[in-house]
Structure 1
Amino acid sequence: MIFSVVLLVLIGAAALWLVLEPLRRAAPTDPDAPERARLLAERDQLYSELNAVEDEARRPDLERRAALTLRALDALPPAPRIGPGRSRTLALGAVGAVTLLTVAGALTFIPRWQLASLDAGEAGKVQAVLKLPGLKERAQRSQKNADYLAWGRAAFDSANYDQAVSAYGNALKTDPRQPEALRRLGILLLTRGDQGGAALPAEDATRAALLIRTAAQLAPDEAESQLLLGFALSRFGQDQEALAALERYRTLDPAGRDADDAITALRARLNQGDPALKLYAASCASCHGAAGAGGIGPSLRASTLSRAALRSVTVNGKGAMPAYPTLTDAELTLLLDLMEQWQKEG
């Protein structure tokens, strides 16, 4: 913050010196004055639009046009120094312009410099907080579904969960089949007890689970649907189904790391209580996924092989699949029973 203030003072001082310097000397008229005046007016207009822009989708185009205008100004020959007769009025006007631009810079460019020092997650949260009042006002004024969703997204991303509930609730009133609103309302309802320190009533927990399941059915290929479904299932003790959903999340979003801790905990719980899963985790999970949903190797849940074919591939190997001829009959039976169970579950 101190660095930003010092930098603004230096910019203001340098600009002030450059503006007042023409008072000291006289020079011939500027042959490029009309074009320079046009570009300066265009630049000021673009700066004004940038400072007041509400639709962030317009900002890149405005910034591009401003950059082109500044480039055109730079391409003009330097303006001759103007004599003291006219320069006093021009200088005083320019002082006001410099002050205005300095304030505008403090409100626009400086926050961007400060955001550059944050990581991506922190910067996104700060930007969401800054946008929240405007998005809320727009949604309440227009009562349009898209505006409610934009408000809800910004509120959820900035951890303003009360506003997120209000925004997504209003969005569902306009269209009850919106996966994002359904799953996020569901997870907020499900974790409300965690935030307040009180136990969640069973009825609310059931309602929350239904919202999240519905969202996953409507949008099964959206990573967040599977992520929140996995978290919800794990809270109800459905560890196997939760692990399958979280594995699916990682397949849909390979860079996502939000489920790593939950997957590790679920694997540990499952492997302790199920000898088949323990054996599978030791020999097969690294390629076929912890819940058989696939990874480097194909999905065992989507497999249509018969029990005999599964036995042959497991014992003898096939293609990139290594052979496991040392498995005992009991171990092989455990694995085959598990794979057939997954085939039925899908």
Structure 2
Amino acid sequence: MTALLLIVVALLALAGLGLLLAPLRGRVTDPDAAERERLDTERQRLTAELVSLETDSRRPELEHRAARTLRDLDALPPAPGRKLGVWPAVTGVGAALLIVGVGALTFVPRWQLAALAPNEAVAVKSALSLPGLQAQASRDQTGTAYLAWGDAAFDAAQYSQASSAYAGALKLDPRQPRALRRLGIMLLTGQGTQAAVSQEQTSQAFLLVRTAAQLAPNDPESQLLLGYALNTFGESKLALAALERYRTLEPQGRDADDLIAQLRASTDQTDPGSRLYAQSCASCHGANGLGGVGPNLHESRLSRAELQSVIQNGKGTMPAYPNIKGAALAALLDKLEGWQK
């Protein structure tokens, strides 16, 4: 597309130059022809020199001479001959509009998307494609078209459209895993609806997600969404198993790292420090202590006594936990000191 734009701009530039020099081709008497030709030759020579400059040492001098030459050319009376008329002017305006239109459809959108984070760029592109995909789904009435529309709407966070699209896909194929799990997770989290999700809807949503995982057990997203759904219902061990299977299927996947760490800590009965940290600290300091709302605990240089004081008495925006004491406090302090080392 960029190469096509450059070709169009070059052709339009040549056409514009041809229109500009058209009056000079006529056989008319011009008393200033010699001076005009000399100045025009000088202008072309200076322009060529400016284009071929390898250093900027002579640029100011050449630009000054070129400006003076152009000023002298402008001071000459207009050359007698044909007037350009209305059609060349219309052509010039049309060429300018074409350049603007091509730029608006190619360079400008790319420049705007380049400033966005990758996930934001995907969301913007998906949002721009929605009208066309929706129209195609309405026209074709195929599962593939409905899925394409639903996926774009889901990526653009347009959950109402995504729900409609996935519902259309399920009418054609009630066992479509992606439509089932995404429709289920949207319903479970209340996306795409302004009303509160009822207990019945929550149960239906979980059934959709679980059915999708049964239909496509080796799909990473199936296990990821199943893990989140199970965690919503308080099934920590089953949720952890599903999320760890997701990580096995998608080793580069990072979507569930914090939840996996939190679930591992909360389900590890042999490590009371990790369990207590997950319950009381992870929401602010991150599942692995690397920071969030609160600071990174791995970078802490507080002594054991200072850590105990902060935990039991609070500090700044951190609340106090006076009920954490005894063996539980000792286990938590051991964990925090282990991170410092």
TM-score by length of 1: 0.54
Q: How far off is 1:91 after superposition?
A: 7.0
Give how far 1:104 is off.
2.8
Structure 1 regions of 5+ residues with no counterpart? 1-9, 28-82, 280-346
In structure 2, distance between residues paired with 1:276 and 1:222:
32
Which residue pairs with 2:161 in the alignment?
163
Offset at residue 133 of structure 1 (A): 1.4
Give the direction of change, closer, same or farther, for the CA distance of 1:248–1:277 in structure 2 (3 Å limit). Answer: farther
Once residues 217 and 15 of structure 1 are traced to their aligned partners in structure 2, the CA distance between those partners, rounded to angstroms, is 64
- Kindly provide the amino acid, as one letter, of the partner of residue 102 in structure 2: A
Q: Which amino acid aligns with 2:156?
A: S
User: Which residue of structure 2 lines up, in the alignment, with residue 229 of structure 1?
Assistant: 226
From 237, 240, 243, the equivalent of 2:240 is 243
The whole-number CA distance in structure 1 between the counterparts of 2:144 and 2:136 is 10
> Distance in 2 between the 1:102 and 1:112 partners?
15
Within the alignment, does 1:218 sit opposite 2:188 as a pair?
A: no
Please list, as runs of the form range in 1=range in 2, the aligned pairs for 1:36-75 lying within 5 A after superposition: none
For the pair shown, which has the larger CA radius of gyration, 1 or 2?
Answer: 2
Give the partner amino acid of 1:162: S
Identify if the C-alpha distance between structure 1 residues 84 and 211 changes in structure 2 by more than 3 Å, giving closer, same or farther.
farther
Q: How far apart are 1:110 and its partner, in Å?
A: 0.7
AA aligned to 1:263 is I
- Are the counterparts in 1 of residues 23 and 83 from structure 2 also a CA contact under 8 Å? no
Structure 2: state its 5+ residue gaps.
1-8, 27-80, 275-341
Q: Is the 8 A contact 1:148 1:170 kept in 2?
A: yes
Residue number in structure 1 paired with 2:125: 127
Structure 1 pair 176–277 and aligned structure 2 pair: CA distance change class (3 A): farther
TM-score w.r.t. structure 2 length? 0.54
* SS of residue paired to 1:275: coil
* Aligned-residue identity in percent: 53
Contact 1:177–1:218 under 8 Å retained in 2: yes
218 and 131 in structure 1: CA distance in 2 versus 1, 3 angstrom threshold:
same
Cα deviation, residue 232, structure 1: 0.4
Residue 256 of structure 2: which of 256, 259, 280 is its match?
A: 259
CA-based RMSD: 3.4
The count of aligned residue pairs is 211
- Match of 1:275? 270
Mapped to 2, the partners of 1:196 and 1:190 lie a distance apart of 13
* Partner residue, 1:54: none
| 1:180 and 2:175 aligned | no
Distance of aligned partners of 1:188 and 1:161 in 2 relative to their CA distance in 1, 3 Å threshold:
same
Residue 221 of structure 1 aligns to a residue whose secondary structure is coil
* Offset of residue 163 of structure 1: 0.9
Q: Which amino acid in the other structure matches residue 220 of structure 2?
A: A
Alpha carbons of 1:208 and 1:112: their partners in 2 closer, same or farther (altered >3 Å)?
Answer: same
Give 1:23's aligned residue.
22
Per-residue deviation, residues 15-52 of structure 1 (Å, max 9, x unmatched): 8964643335439xxxxxxxxxxxxxxxxxxxxxxxxx
Question: Which residue number corresponds to residue 190 of structure 2?
Answer: 192
Cα distance in 1 for residues equivalent to 2:259 and 2:148: 29
Judge conservation of contact 2:186–2:192 (CA < 8 Å) in 1.
Answer: no
Distance 2:214 2:270 in 1: 31
